[in-house]
């Protein structure tokens, strides 16, 4: 029988951490690093979207749609993923109660997880790994690429 206390992996993304709680604690750790050093914060939006989309059960319909659209924007439009790059046009469509589809999450969410980010010893390595993570998660959500691209096209200034 499954015992949550003995969990050695995150049931959402498969990372080798102590369950979902351990995975969000690790995300908080990465976030603290990004907010304390701009060299690491340079890829904050990528790591935020990647982690969120690997844990869609914890975020809800609106958040999942937002993170998928933004991840597509970051990767396919080469947008700047640094902390604070939050253009108004990207957020406005998600204000209030927009009519959004329920994006069924993929069961497999990529081989790369938050744990792999710990391999980075320098901001350059961290940046490279953040793009690997982002691309891996974007690919995992490929069944919703058409929707995300169409949505982004409609709101891009």
Residue from the set 15, 43, 65, 129 that interacts with Zn ion by CB under 5 A: 15
**Within its chain, how far is the Cα of 153 from the centroid?**
20
| Residue 100: DSSP 8-state | -
The least distance separating Zn ion from the CB of residue 10, rounded to whole angstroms, comes to 3
Calpha distance 26→30 (Å, rounded)? 6
Take residue 155 and report the two structure tokens written for it.
């709101």
| Residue 15: DSSP 8-state | -
Binding segment (CB under 5 A) for Zn ion, from list 19-27, 32-40, 57-65, 100-108: 19-27
The least distance separating Zn ion from the CB of residue 123, rounded to whole angstroms, comes to 24
Contacts of 155 (CB under 8 A, 6+ apart): 89, 90, 92, 93
Contacts of 157 (CB under 8 A, 6+ apart): 87, 89
Total number of residues that touch Zn ion (CB under 5 A) = 5
Residue from the set 1, 5, 6, 12 that interacts with Zn ion by CB under 5 A: 12
Calpha distance 157→151 (Å, rounded)? 12
Binding segment (CB under 5 A) for Zn ion, from list 10-18, 34-42, 73-81, 85-93: 10-18
Binding segment (CB under 5 A) for Zn ion, from list 3-11, 37-45, 85-93, 121-129: 3-11
The least distance separating Zn ion from the CB of residue 137, rounded to whole angstroms, comes to 11
127-156 positions binding Zn ion, by CB under 5 A: none
* Per-residue contact flags (x/-) with Zn ion for residues 57 to 76, judged by CB under 5 A: --------------------
Using rule CB under 5 A, residue 52 touches Zn ion:
no
| Residue 48: DSSP 8-state | H
Please compute, for residue 119, the number of CA atoms within 13 A of its CA located in the half-sphere on the CB side.
Answer: 13
- Name the residues that contact Zn ion, by CB under 5 A: 10, 12-13, 15, 23
């Amino acid at each position: 029988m499954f015992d949550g206390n003995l969990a050695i992996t995150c049931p959402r993304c498969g990372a080798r951490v102590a369950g979902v709680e351990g995975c969000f604690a690790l995300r908080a750790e990465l976030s603290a690093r990004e907010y304390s050093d701009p060299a690491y914060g340079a890829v904050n939006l990528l790591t935020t979207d990647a982690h969120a989309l690997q844990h869609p059960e914890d975020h809800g319909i609106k958040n999942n749609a937002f993170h998928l659209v933004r991840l597509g924007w970051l990767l396919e439009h080469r947008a700047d993923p640094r902390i604070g790059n939050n253009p108004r046009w990207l957020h406005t469509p998600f204000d209030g109660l927009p009519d959004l589809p329920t994006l069924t999450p993929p069961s497999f969410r990529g081989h790369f997880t938050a744990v792999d980010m710990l391999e980075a010893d320098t901001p350059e390595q961290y940046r490279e790994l953040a793009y690997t993570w982002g691309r891996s998660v974007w690919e995992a959500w490929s069944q919703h690429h058409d929707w995300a691209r169409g949505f982004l096209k409609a709101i891009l200034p």
